[in-house]
């Protein structure tokens, strides 16, 4: 740990670079495109086990972290599919396998589903996260840690340097 530097804890804004790879070596996600991840620690934006592993780190620290499916996006559920009448969609435009859509249940709860298959009359929705069942391997470099502003704490998320985006 680096003496005198702020450490990652709740209510700190953290900026980091990471690369996420799967067991087969495939890069599933990365910030190496020049857009680091910025988040408000403790706000629930990240996987809990990922955020917990970051606690106490400071700018300049590096971390290699492996998360099991249970600590990542859960096990793959073979039953988490639904066949929906295509008439429930306002348009067939954008109905392509892999597309994420919001689905609302009878109680008004919102879920994310992924289009698995598109047929003439129906669409098959998959409620599994695309990384469900995968072991996740993260390589992380902490770039910056700073206290959150009052506005960030009020809104429950970090704001980019000169702008406020929701």
Q: Kindly provide the residue ranges of all beta strands, DSSP E only, lying in 26-147, ordered along the sequence.
A: 27-30, 37-40, 62-67, 81-85, 100-104, 110-118, 122-126, 136-147
What does DSSP assign to residue 34? T
Q: What is the pLDDT of residue 164?
A: 43
CB atoms within 10 A of CB 16: 23
What is the pLDDT averaged over residues 120-143? 97
pLDDT tens string 64-123: 999 999 999 999 999 999 999 999 988 888 899 999 999 888 898 999 999 999 999 999
Q: Which helix (H) or strand (E) holds 66?
A: strand 62-67
Confidence of residue 161 (pLDDT cuts 50, 70, 90): low
Confidence of residue 166 (pLDDT cuts 50, 70, 90): very low
Q: Where are the domains of the chain?
A: 12-73+131-155, 81-126
Listed range (30-34, 50-54, 80-84, 131-135) with the worst mean pLDDT = 30-34
Is domain 81-126 in CATH 2.40.10.330, yes or no?
Answer: yes
Confidence of residue 156 (pLDDT cuts 50, 70, 90): confident
Residues, the chain: 166
Distance (Å, whole) CA 54 – CA 62: 10
CATH fold of the domain at 12-73+131-155: Chitinase A; domain 3 (3.10.50)
Distance (Å, whole) CA 136 – CA 23: 7
């Amino acid at each position: 740990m680096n003496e005198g530097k702020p450490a990652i804890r709740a209510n700190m804004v953290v900026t980091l670079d990471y690369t996420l790879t799967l067991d087969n070596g495939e890069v599933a996600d990365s910030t190496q495109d020049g857009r680091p991840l910025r988040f408000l620690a403790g706000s629930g934006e990240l996987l809990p086990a990922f955020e917990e592993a970051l606690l106490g780190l400071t700018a300049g620290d590096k971390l290699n972290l492996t998360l099991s499916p249970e600590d990542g996006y859960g096990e793959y559920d073979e039953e988490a599919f639904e066949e929906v009448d295509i008439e429930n969609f306002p348009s067939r435009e954008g109905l392509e396998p892999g597309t994420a859509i919001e689905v609302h249940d009878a109680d008004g709860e919102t879920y994310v589903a992924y289009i698995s298959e598109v047929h003439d009359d129906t669409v098959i929705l998959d409620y599994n996260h695309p990384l469900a069942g995968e072991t996740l391997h993260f390589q992380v470099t902490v770039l910056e840690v700073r206290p959150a502003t009052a506005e960030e704490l009020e809104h429950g998320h970090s704001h980019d340097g000169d702008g406020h985006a929701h």
